[in-house]
Amino acid sequence: MFEDSAALLGLLVATAGVTLEVLCRSSITDAIASIVIGLILMATAVVLARATRSLLIGETAEREVVDGIRRIAAADRDVARMGRVRAVHFGPHEIVAQLEVVFDSKLRADDVPRTIDRLQQALRQRYPDLKSISVEAETSASGS
């Protein structure tokens, strides 16, 4: 919407510049209109760059999302405790999460993948924007 408004404003300035050039028989109005259009383009670029910068470099997900991810994972019956949780936006509806999970020492190694699948399913159900969930798994015996 913002870009469209800037484009329409540029067209109006261009039309005014050309019209005044014809009426006044002076190319200076067209030159001034070109400079104004350039300023409009620069201002638009700055505003859009500021608005999208955080998405380009990865913006940390909202605190409530990170806390919710931690809460859901910690509530699982096979999770002994949680380590760090990182969640980053890579687009308006794309969150990538990385969880450090310490599993219960009684959990068998062949049960870990099923537990991770269960965690990922629960997290995606609550947060559909989670597109990638990485779980770094440890047992409580090897955890710090």
CATH code of 130's domain: 3.30.70.1350
CA distances from 77 to 3, 67, 85, 94, 101 (A): 50, 18, 18, 28, 12
- Residue span of the structural domain in which 11 resides: 2-54
pTM exceeds cut of 0.75:
no
CB atoms within 10 A of CB 43: 12
Asked if residue 89 lies in contact with residue 95, where contact means CB atoms within 8 angstroms, the answer is yes
Structural domains of the chain, count: 2
What is the separation of C-alpha 4 from the centre of its chain, rounded to a whole number of angstroms? 23
Task: Encode pLDDT of 12-64 as tens digits.
Answer: 998 998 898 888 888 898 889 999 999 999 999 998 888 777 666 667 888 99
Residue type, 124: R
